[in-house]
Amino acid sequence: MSRNPPTRRQKLALLLEKYDQERHQLATQLSQVGYIWHGSVTRRWQKCGQSSCRCHRDADGRHGPYAYWTTKVSGKTVSRLLKAAEAYLYEAWIQNREQIERIVAALKRLSEKVAPIVLEAEIADPDEKGARGERSGRRPISR
Protein backbone atom coordinates (compact mmCIF):
# COMPACT_ATOMS: atom_id res chain seq x y z
CA MET A 1 0.00 0.00 0.00
CA SER A 2 1.52 3.31 -1.08
CA ARG A 3 1.26 6.50 0.89
CA ASN A 4 -0.02 9.59 -0.82
CA PRO A 5 2.41 12.50 -0.78
CA PRO A 6 1.45 15.19 1.74
CA THR A 7 -0.94 17.81 0.46
CA ARG A 8 -0.05 21.48 0.33
CA ARG A 9 -2.27 22.04 3.35
CA GLN A 10 -0.48 19.32 5.33
CA LYS A 11 2.90 20.80 4.41
CA LEU A 12 1.74 24.23 5.57
CA ALA A 13 0.46 22.77 8.84
CA LEU A 14 3.82 21.07 9.50
CA LEU A 15 5.70 24.25 8.68
CA LEU A 16 3.45 26.30 10.96
CA GLU A 17 4.02 23.77 13.74
CA LYS A 18 7.79 24.09 13.30
CA TYR A 19 7.61 27.88 13.34
CA ASP A 20 5.34 27.79 16.40
CA GLN A 21 7.99 25.75 18.23
CA GLU A 22 10.58 28.39 17.29
CA ARG A 23 8.23 31.11 18.56
CA HIS A 24 7.77 29.21 21.81
CA GLN A 25 11.57 28.93 22.23
CA LEU A 26 11.93 32.68 21.67
CA ALA A 27 9.15 33.40 24.17
CA THR A 28 10.88 31.15 26.71
CA GLN A 29 14.17 32.99 26.18
CA LEU A 30 12.36 36.30 26.60
CA SER A 31 10.78 35.19 29.87
CA GLN A 32 14.20 34.37 31.30
CA VAL A 33 15.70 37.82 30.79
CA GLY A 34 16.07 39.91 33.93
CA TYR A 35 15.72 43.61 34.46
CA ILE A 36 16.66 46.05 31.69
CA TRP A 37 18.19 49.53 31.50
CA HIS A 38 18.39 52.13 28.75
CA GLY A 39 21.43 53.94 27.46
CA SER A 40 25.04 52.79 27.48
CA VAL A 41 28.00 52.63 29.86
CA THR A 42 31.42 53.74 28.70
CA ARG A 43 34.77 53.98 30.43
CA ARG A 44 36.86 57.13 30.09
CA TRP A 45 40.39 58.17 31.06
CA GLN A 46 40.63 61.86 31.80
CA LYS A 47 42.95 64.74 32.56
CA CYS A 48 42.67 66.36 35.96
CA GLY A 49 42.68 70.05 36.77
CA GLN A 50 46.34 70.25 37.81
CA SER A 51 48.44 71.46 34.89
CA SER A 52 51.61 69.98 36.43
CA CYS A 53 50.13 66.45 36.56
CA ARG A 54 51.54 63.76 34.33
CA CYS A 55 48.10 63.26 32.73
CA HIS A 56 48.57 66.50 30.78
CA ARG A 57 51.89 65.37 29.25
CA ASP A 58 51.27 61.64 28.73
CA ALA A 59 48.05 60.09 27.42
CA ASP A 60 48.95 56.86 29.24
CA GLY A 61 49.08 58.81 32.48
CA ARG A 62 45.45 59.92 32.42
CA HIS A 63 43.23 59.16 35.39
CA GLY A 64 40.59 56.46 35.29
CA PRO A 65 38.91 54.58 33.99
CA TYR A 66 35.74 56.35 35.07
CA ALA A 67 32.40 54.80 34.17
CA TYR A 68 29.78 57.04 32.58
CA TRP A 69 26.18 56.23 31.77
CA THR A 70 24.85 57.98 28.65
CA THR A 71 21.23 58.18 27.51
CA LYS A 72 18.80 60.49 25.72
CA VAL A 73 16.46 62.72 27.76
CA SER A 74 13.95 64.82 25.82
CA GLY A 75 16.05 64.36 22.68
CA LYS A 76 19.30 65.46 24.32
CA THR A 77 22.27 63.28 25.22
CA VAL A 78 22.93 63.19 28.94
CA SER A 79 25.91 61.55 30.69
CA ARG A 80 26.44 60.86 34.36
CA LEU A 81 29.47 59.64 36.29
CA LEU A 82 28.72 56.26 37.93
CA LYS A 83 29.88 54.59 41.09
CA ALA A 84 31.41 51.14 40.55
CA ALA A 85 28.27 49.33 41.79
CA GLU A 86 26.06 51.39 39.48
CA ALA A 87 28.29 50.69 36.50
CA TYR A 88 28.23 46.96 37.20
CA LEU A 89 24.44 46.91 37.58
CA TYR A 90 23.68 49.10 34.56
CA GLU A 91 26.05 47.15 32.30
CA ALA A 92 24.32 43.88 33.21
CA TRP A 93 20.86 45.35 32.68
CA ILE A 94 21.90 46.98 29.39
CA GLN A 95 23.13 43.56 28.21
CA ASN A 96 19.69 42.18 29.15
CA ARG A 97 18.02 44.90 27.07
CA GLU A 98 20.26 44.08 24.12
CA GLN A 99 19.36 40.40 24.49
CA ILE A 100 15.65 41.31 24.43
CA GLU A 101 16.23 43.38 21.29
CA ARG A 102 17.92 40.38 19.61
CA ILE A 103 15.04 38.08 20.61
CA VAL A 104 12.43 40.56 19.36
CA ALA A 105 14.33 40.93 16.06
CA ALA A 106 14.33 37.14 15.67
CA LEU A 107 10.60 37.07 16.43
CA LYS A 108 10.01 39.73 13.75
CA ARG A 109 11.98 37.68 11.19
CA LEU A 110 10.01 34.58 12.15
CA SER A 111 6.72 36.48 11.84
CA GLU A 112 7.70 37.60 8.35
CA LYS A 113 8.11 33.92 7.40
CA VAL A 114 4.84 32.88 9.03
CA ALA A 115 2.51 35.62 7.73
CA PRO A 116 2.40 34.43 4.09
CA ILE A 117 1.88 30.85 5.20
CA VAL A 118 -1.03 31.77 7.48
CA LEU A 119 -2.56 33.91 4.76
CA GLU A 120 -2.21 31.12 2.20
CA ALA A 121 -3.74 28.59 4.59
CA GLU A 122 -6.73 30.84 5.29
CA ILE A 123 -7.25 31.68 1.63
CA ALA A 124 -7.03 28.00 0.68
CA ASP A 125 -9.69 27.05 3.22
CA PRO A 126 -11.74 30.09 4.33
CA ASP A 127 -14.46 27.86 5.86
CA GLU A 128 -11.88 26.61 8.37
CA LYS A 129 -12.08 29.93 10.25
CA GLY A 130 -14.20 30.24 13.35
CA ALA A 131 -16.63 33.05 14.21
CA ARG A 132 -13.86 35.44 15.32
CA GLY A 133 -11.55 34.70 12.41
CA GLU A 134 -9.72 32.02 14.39
CA ARG A 135 -8.83 28.70 12.90
CA SER A 136 -11.30 26.22 14.36
CA GLY A 137 -9.94 23.07 15.98
CA ARG A 138 -6.57 24.70 16.51
CA ARG A 139 -5.17 27.22 18.89
CA PRO A 140 -5.53 30.79 17.59
CA ILE A 141 -2.44 32.29 16.06
CA SER A 142 -0.67 34.50 18.60
CA ARG A 143 -0.91 38.13 17.69
Three-state DSSP class for 98? helix
- Give the full edge-to-edge strand order of the sheet including 63-73: 40-46, 63-73, 76-81
Q: What is the pLDDT of residue 123?
A: 66
Tell me: pLDDT of 66 over 50: yes
Distance from C-alpha of 31 to C-alpha of 97, rounded to nearest angstrom: 12
Tell me: pLDDT of 21 over 90: yes
Q: What is the pLDDT of residue 124?
A: 61
Q: What is the pLDDT of residue 132?
A: 38
Q: Mean pLDDT throughout 1-6?
A: 78
Work out the widest C-alpha separation in the chain, in whole angstroms.
94
Number of H helices, E strands in the chain: 2, 3
pTM for this prediction? 0.75
